[in-house]
Amino acid sequence: MSILMGVDIGGTFTDLIGFDEQTGQLLHAKRPTTYFDLVQGIVDCTAASGLDMGEVSQIVHGSTIAINTVIEETGARTALITTRGTRDIYRIGRGNRPDAYDFFFHRPRPLVPRHLTFEVTGRMLANGDEWTPIDEGEIEALCETLSEQKVEAVAVCFLHSYANPAHEERVGKIIRLRLPDCYVSLSHEILRAYREYERTSTTVLNAYVGPKVSRYINELSSRMSGIGFAGHFSIMQSNGGVMAPEMAAKRPVNMMESGPVGGIIASAEIGRSLGYTNVIAFDMGGTTAKASLIRAGEVMMSEMYYIGGYASGYPVMIPVVDVVEVGTGGGSIAWIDEVGTLRVGPQSAGADPAPICYGKGGCEPTFTDAFVVLGRVGAQDFLGGDLKLDELSAIQGIQHKLADVLHIGVYQAAQAVIQIAINNMSLAVRQVSVEKGYDPREFALVASGGAGPLSALAVARELHIPTVIIPRFPAHFSAIGMLLTDEKHDFVRTYYGALEDVDFEQLVKVHDDMLEEVRAVVRSESMTTTTIVYQTCLDVRYVGQEFTLSVPVSDEQLRQARIQEIHDAFDNIHQQRFGHQAPHEPVEMVNIRLTAIGVRNKPKFQLERNEDCLPHVSYRKVFFEDAEKPIDCPVYERDSLPPNYVLAGPALVQEYASTTVLYQGDTCTVSQTGELVISVGGGQDA
C-alpha cells in the first residue's frame, strides 16, 4: 500500500486528494457535500477518483461536522454537573460587553438549560486539597434523574478539578457504570487549566457534539473498511495536527476547525518552498472565506477562540490555529435589505439548493452567479466540464432580484456583488494582519479554495499585498494540507505564581507527570512515526495583566531554573507582539504547556511537465472594470503552462475546479513546481 489520501468536507463540496508515494501521481475528486449523509460524499469522491482503496495506506480527514453541530444546535440533550454553589457559572459567563452600542447584542444561549444543570456535594481547593468529599449516594441518585430526563450526554466540571481531578474521576466512573449509553465528558480529560467559565463551556461543547461525532467517526471507519480500506485513519485537529479516531471520539471539541486548518498548514509549506516565510493564507470556499497569518514560517496560534464570534459566541479554551472567518463564499447569497442596501452573505445557498447557475433549484443570486454572468467563470468549463452551468438563469436571477430593484444594469449589479464580497473578505485579511500589528505589504497571499483564486488579486489590491501565490489544486488545498501535517497533542496544567517565587523543583515534577501522560497517549494512539518532538511552554504575563503570552522553554531552562532567561524571552515576545516591553516589571506564570509532535515524512509533490510545450489558450467575452463593455480575454489552461512561463493580465487561468482572475498590470510566473506566483499591479481597480 503506497497511496496517501486526504479528505475535506466543506459547506458546499467534499474534496479528495490522493498521492501515490511510488509514482508521485496526484489523484483528485470533488463532489457536492451530502448533508443528509456526510459519509456518502466521501464514498462518491473515492469512486470518482478511481482510487483502489486497498492500496490506500493512510487517510487524513477533516470535517465541519463538530462546529456545524454547534452552529445549527443539533447536538445531544446534555446535562451539566457542577460543584455545589457554582450552578450558574455557565449561564452567567463573563460580564464584558464587546460593543456597548449594539442594541441587538445578546449573550450566548447556553447549550445546557438550567433545569439540566445539577449541583453536587464535594469540593477541591485551588491547591488540590480536598475540602469536602464526594457523596457517592447523591451521584447514584442523580443518575436516576438523568435517565428519567433522557439525557444523552453529561458534562462534568468541578471547581478546581484542574488541580486535583479525583472527584471528577470518581463521578465519571459512577455515571459510566450506571448509564453506559450516555456520553460522558470530564473537564480534566479535556484541559486542566483555570478559568471556570471557559473550562465549563469547553467541556459542555465536547459533550454536546460527542454523540453525533462519535457516531459519524464509527460509521466512516466502517464504510471505508467496507470498500477495501485497511490502512491508518487519522482525524485533523484544530491545532494543526492529527489524532486517532478514538481520541477524536473522546475529544471531538479538538476538531471544531479541522477543515480549514489543513489549508493553512499547506500555505506555510508552500510559502517556505518558494522562499516566502511571511504568508497570509486565504481560503474561500462555498460558504465562508477564512484568513490566517504565518510569520517567519510559523503558523499563528491562539489558546482560545469563540464559535459564533467573540461578542456572543461560545468560548473554546484549546490551542487552535488562529483563523478569522467571514460569511462570504462562492455560495453566499446577494440580497437587498429593508433600506435598499445591497448585501452579500452570510446566508449561503450551500450545496443544496446551490447557486442559480448550478440548475439544482436555487433561486437566489450568489457570488458564483455574479462571476458566471461576468464571464470570469466559464459556464461550459466548470469542474472540467463535468458540471455545465446555466448562465442564462444566473443572468435572469440577478436581473430580477437585484438589477431591477436597484435600477441598474445586470452586469453592473454583478460587478457590485463582487466588489461588496471583496470588501468583506478584505476585512478578514485585515483582522489577521493590520489589527494585530502586521503590515500586509510585507506578506505574500496564498489563495486556495474553489473561489479563492477568483478573488485573491482583488483582495491583494485592496490591501496593497505585492505577491499572490496560487498553489496547485487550489480547490483541494485543505485536503492536500492534511497530508502535510504531523501528529500532535497538547496538554496544559495551571501552575500559578510569581516567576521569581516559582518552586521549579515542583514545576519539574508537574512537567514530568505531564510527560508521562503524553507518552501514554502516544502509546495508545499507535502514532505512525517514531520521531517524537516535545515542546514545553510557560504562559507568562506582567503582574496586573489578564492574559498571557506563551514562552517556549528548553529542558535545561526548566530544570536549572533559569528565571532571568525566561523573563527576557517573555519581554522579547511581548515586544514583538505589542511593540513595547517592561523588563523591570515583575512577571508571573499561569500555566505550563507540553506539546508532543510526531514528525511524519511529508509527501514531495513533483511537477512533470515539458518546458517546451505550448500553452493552450482560448478567448471569451469577460467583463472587468467596465461593466458595460466586455473584452476578448485570453483563457489559459493551467495544466498546459510550462515552468517559468510568464503571462500578463487581464487574463484567466482555468483549471479543473477553479479559475484565477488576473487584472490589468498583474504579471504571473509559473514556478518550477507549478505554483502561479503573481506580481500584483496597482494601476487598476478590480
Place of cell 502514532: 527
- Tell me which of 598, 629, 654 is where a domain ends: 598
Averaged pLDDT for residues 245-265: 87
Averaged pLDDT for residues 186-200: 93
Cis peptide bond upstream of 466, omega within 30: no
Domains of the chain: total: 2
- Within a domain: 61: no
CA distances from 84 to 21, 124, 156, 279, 587 (A): 57, 11, 12, 49, 34
- Within a domain: 119: yes
| Per-residue pLDDT, 578 | 84
pLDDT tens by residue, 261-313: 888 988 998 999 899 999 999 988 877 888 999 998 888 888 888 887 777 78
Q: Could you give the CA distance from residue 17 to residue 6 in angstroms, rounded to a whole number?
A: 5
- Within a domain: 75: yes
Q: What is the pTM of this model?
A: 0.85
Biggest CA pair distance of the chain: 81
**What CATH code is carried by the domain that includes residue 135?**
3.40.1360
Highest mean pLDDT among 117-121, 446-450, 580-584: 117-121
Q: Could you give the CA distance from residue 185 to residue 250 in angstroms, rounded to a whole number?
A: 8
Averaged pLDDT for residues 487-493: 89
- Within a domain: 231: no
Residue 515, classified by CB atoms within 10 Å of its CB into exposed (0-12), middle (13-18) or buried (19+), is middle
| Per-residue pLDDT, 559 | 93
- Within a domain: 506: yes
- Within a domain: 86: yes
| Per-residue pLDDT, 117 | 96
- Within a domain: 531: yes
pLDDT tens by residue, 8-26: 887 778 889 888 888 878 8
**What CATH code is carried by the domain that includes residue 516?**
3.30.1490
Helix (H) or strand (E) holding 592: strand 587-598
- Tell me which of 555, 571, 598 is where a domain ends: 598
Instruction: Give yes or no for a contact between 471 and 276, defined as CB atoms under 8 angstroms apart.
Output: no
- Tell me which of 598, 625, 656 is where a domain ends: 598
Task: Say which range, 146-155, 288-297, 618-627, 675-684, has the weakest mean pLDDT.
Answer: 675-684
Q: Could you give the CA distance from residue 120 to residue 242 in angstroms, rounded to a whole number?
A: 36
Q: Could you give the CA distance from residue 492 to residue 435 in angstroms, rounded to a whole number?
A: 28
Q: Could you give the CA distance from residue 436 to residue 444 in angstroms, rounded to a whole number?
A: 17
- Within a domain: 33: no
| Per-residue pLDDT, 107 | 79
pLDDT tens by residue, 43-96: 888 888 888 888 888 889 988 788 878 877 889 999 999 999 999 999 998 887
Instruction: Give yes or no for a contact between 348 and 333, defined as CB atoms under 8 angstroms apart.
Output: yes
Instruction: Give yes or no for a contact between 165 and 186, defined as CB atoms under 8 angstroms apart.
Output: yes
Instruction: Give yes or no for a contact between 437 and 577, defined as CB atoms under 8 angstroms apart.
Output: yes
Structural domain containing residue 519: 486-598
Q: Could you give the CA distance from residue 115 to residue 138 in angstroms, rounded to a whole number?
A: 17
- Per-residue pLDDT band for 683 (boundaries 50, 70, 90) equals very low
| Per-residue pLDDT, 568 | 94
Average pLDDT, the chain: 88
Per-residue pLDDT for 530 more than 70? no
| Per-residue pLDDT, 28 | 85
| Per-residue pLDDT, 1 | 58
Q: What are phi and psi of 392, to 5 degrees?
A: -60, -45
